[in-house]
Amino acid sequence: MKGIVKSRVEKSYSDTIFDVVNLGVMCLLLIIFIWPMWFVLIASFSDPNQLWLGNVIFWPKGFTLEAYEKLLEYTDIWIGYKNTILYTVVGTLVNLILTVTLAYPLSRKDFLPRKLIMIMLVITMYFSGGLIPTYLVVKNLGMVNSFWAMIIPGAISTYNVLVVRTYFVNSIPNELHEAAKLDGANNIQFFGKIALPLAKPVVAVVGLYYAVGHWNDYYTALIYLYDKEKFPLTCFLKNLIIDTSTAMQGSFGSSASEMESMIRLAQSLKYSTIIVAVIPMLIVYPFVQKFFVKGVMIGSIKG
Amino acid sequence: MGKLSANRGVYMQRKERLWVRLKKDIKVNYLLYLLVLPGLLFYIIFCYVPMPGVLMAFEDYQARSGIFGSTWVGLKHFTRFFNSYYFWVLIKNTLRISIYNLVVGFPIPIIFALMLNYLNHKRLKKTVQMVSYAPHFISAVVICGMITMFFNKDTGIINQVLERFGGEATNFLAKPELFDDIYVWSGIWQEMGWSAIIYVAALAGVDPELHEAAIMDGATKIQRMIHIDIPSIKSTIIMLLILQFGSVMSVGFEKAYFLTNSMNKSAANIISTYVYEVGLIDRDFGFSTAVGLFNSLINMILLITVNKISRKVADEGLF
């Protein structure tokens, strides 16, 4: 009897310690996740001199919009912004059309070459020609340094096709299709009027995946583009926030104190640039994050 | 002999039947074929047409003569790569970063998910989860920009805080020995929440009766974690581990590319950046393709080996 009581006490003791540690770790993690993003935000609104001296840590010091005003003068950034929006909108649209039209027939059990095409897709997940051969194909099609180079070569992600196909298979019973057939609906009508509306959630998820991919894409531009006018935002971001030297260009020839304040402003400018670059994500994020989670779930139930 | 020809007959018959069936199917379901066509064309043009391009790895590629007309040089590019100074540097850097990443980065999301699962505060749980996904959606450029700015020797916040506490400012990004730490831990910051989602989902599916029984028997939370939760999500863990092994040799291009500078280059040179440099900057197409091919071969061998081992040891595998 005594033994049991003792072990109960020990147990609750151990669980209490666990709960306290767990709570502590989670709070710490919360700070670790939030602080870097928070810091960028407050740094962009703080007085460049205070930022330079390291006085900005948890709260903004000397609130100012100087860095944002300066950013307006950088026309490059806005060219990039416009391009990225275009690539994201057109690219995601193309992605979705191709993905959904490919995924739907593959979900139909009565579609004869279904297996063959599936094998064809899965092979590409494990084997590809590689960087140079793909580049040469794009080049031979005359797409290098064109708008379409950012859209077409990566127009379909096999993983997403499989996600959409799985969703179609699980959400549209075969009887529904049989019934529609008896009512005289053809395949396109069934696809457009019944299958597509049913697939709205998965189309949203996959569309978000694609859109984020376009928004953050740098690699494609690095390989296929060389005209500045066509660069997406990420290319200009690299110049401005990673290659330190360029941000200070134009400051030569001014007096020492002017140069000093230029350099300080240039630093604040980097923070405001990051904020402007991630703002669309920040605004959209709270609304869509539950969709992202759903997407991972759908994707994990393969087969 | 007769059997063989009979087999052949059956085969031909089947083939013919397939052809007839396909014709009939196209007639009935032509709209489905129409739907599939654009996507299929994409795969043919951008995935299958470049595939014979791997032959470039075995020839001195000349744009004029094309892939099938260029001089065949056998394994020349491969021996050149294996004998070059860069070979061991690249292999070492790539493996070091990715094994470090695997050893630290793989268990952390699992532990994170387990701890989240036992968090009593519902609101805090939701907040931590939501915040932890957010970094996944920030682009590599911005992440690396933040890293270079935070760790800057003179103006970076990290050094400013260090100095305030009497430490000495260090140029973290100029030190090759710190490159791995920066690369791996920033990756963990960015991906741990996202990677944990799948485990959180798997944990939600654990039979609650098991936990009730364990509580009746006086098991502590840590005991329940070890004896109930981990065994229940074992197959998910193994599946993801195999997938990770399959990409051990492919350390992400963008982050390495952005974080490289003249001072830490000795640690930051990895296979994917090398393929890009040799291929598109130096225009050494054959050599670059050979390096890339070597890389994907190693990946494939690793994936198959780990899958086999896991089949034997844990009776579970991807294929």
- Does the beta-carbon distance from B39 to A33 stay under 8 Å? no
Residue A234's nearest CA partner among A216, A251, A213 is A216
Alpha carbon distance, N-terminus to C-terminus of chain B: 37
CA distance to partner chain A, nearest, from residue B227 (Å): 16
ipTM for this prediction = 0.84
**B280: helix, strand or coil:** helix
Of B127, B134, B139, the CB nearest to A218: B139
Percent of chain B topping pLDDT 90? 28
Which residues of chain B have a CB within 8 Å of the CB of A99?
Answer: 39
Residue A257 lies in a domain: yes
Contact between chains at A22 and B119 (C-beta distance less than 8 A): yes
How many distinct structural domains can be found in chain A? 1
What is the per-residue pLDDT for B13? 67
What pLDDT sits at residue B11?
A: 65
pTM: 0.85
Report yes or no: A18 at the B interface, CB cutoff 8 Å: yes
Confidence tier at A149 by pLDDT (50, 70, 90): very high
Q: How confident is the model at residue B9 (pLDDT cuts 50, 70, 90)?
A: low
Pairs of CB atoms within 8 A across A/B? 252
Least confident of A99-103, A130-134, B247-251: B247-251
User: Which of A194-203, B50-59, B247-256 is the least confident region?
Assistant: B247-256
Residue A56 counted as domain residue: no
Q: Could you give the CA distance from residue B291 to residue B289 in angstroms, rounded to a whole number?
A: 5
Please indicate if any CB of chain B lies within 8 Å of the CB of A33: yes
Q: Return the residue in A15, A120, A131, A235 with the most chain B beta carbons within 10 A, the one to mutate for interface testing.
A: A131
Give how far A241 is from chain B: nearest CA, Å: 5
pLDDT at B30 over 50: yes
B116 neighbourhood in chain A, CB within 8 Å: 26
pLDDT of residue A88: 95
Structural domain range at position A190: 68-303
Q: Which tens digit of pLDDT belongs to each residue from B187-205?
A: 999 999 988 988 988 898 8
CATH number at residue A198: 1.10.3720.10
CB B240 within 8 A of CB B198: yes
Residue of B nearest to A11 (CA): B220
How high is the pLDDT of residue A5?
Answer: 52
Residues of A in contact with B253 (CB under 8 A): 219
pLDDT at A50: 84
Please give the pLDDT value at position B46.
Answer: 94
DSSP class of residue A253? T
Q: Do B203 and B114 meet the contact criterion of CB atoms below 8 Å apart?
A: yes
pLDDT at A164 over 60: yes
Mean of the per-residue pLDDT values of chain A: 84
Residue A224 domain-assigned? yes
Note whether A105 and A99 are within 8 A (CB).
no
Q: Do A36 and B288 touch (CB under 8 A)?
A: no
Nearest chain A residue to B155 by CA distance is A52
From the list B15, B221, B232, B257, the residue with the least C-alpha distance to B143 is B257
Q: What is the C-alpha to C-alpha distance for residues A97 and A99, in angstroms, rounded to an integer?
A: 6
Q: What is the pLDDT of residue B63?
A: 80
pLDDT the model gives residue A15 = 86
Q: List the single residue in A with minimal CA-CA distance to B292.
A: A130
- pLDDT for the residue A247: 45
| Minimum Cα–Cα distance from B252: chain A residue | A219
User: Rounded CA gap, B47 and B41, in Å?
Assistant: 10
Question: What are A51-61's pLDDT values in tens digits?
Answer: 888 888 888 88
Enumerate the β-bridge partners of residue B71.
B60
Helix H or strand E segment including B60 = strand B59-60
User: pLDDT tens for residues B125-184?
Assistant: 989 988 898 898 888 999 999 999 899 888 888 888 888 888 888 888 888 889 999 999
Q: Which percentage of chain B shows pLDDT scores above 70? A: 94
Q: Is residue A29 part of a domain?
A: no
Quickly tell me which residue has 């090759």 as its tokens: B176
Q: Does residue A2 register a pLDDT over 50?
A: no
**Reported confidence tier of residue B1, pLDDT bands at 50, 70, 90:** very low
Domains of chain B, first to last? 76-314 (1.10.3720.10)
Residue with the larger pLDDT of the pair A152 and A201: A152
Q: Which residues lie closer than 8 Å to A176 by C-beta, 6 or more apart?
A: A194
The tokens for B203 are: 């944990």
Residue recorded with tokens 């306290």:
A20
Confidence band, pLDDT 50/70/90 cuts, at residue B275:
confident
Q: Which of A81, A148, A242 to probe by mutation at the B interface, max B CB count within 10 Å?
A: A242
Residue A246 pLDDT level (bands cut at 50, 70, 90): very low
pLDDT tens for B110-119 read 999 999 999 8
Question: Does A267 reside within a domain?
Answer: yes
Q: Is residue A25 part of a domain?
A: no
The closest alpha carbon to A137, from B114, B285, B211, belongs to: B285
Q: Which residues of A touch B145 (CB under 8 A)?
A: 237-238, 241-242, 270, 274
Contact B22, A113 (CB under 8 A): yes
- pLDDT, tens digit, 9 for 90 and up, residues A87-131: 999 999 999 999 999 999 998 888 888 889 999 998 888 788 888
Neighboring chain B residues of A5 at a CB cutoff of 8 Å: none
Contact B20, A111 (CB under 8 A): no
Percent of chain A with pLDDT over 70: 88
Task: Give the nearest partner residue to A133 out of B40, B53, B253, using CB atoms.
Answer: B53
Residue B129 near residue A29 (C-beta atoms within 8 A): no
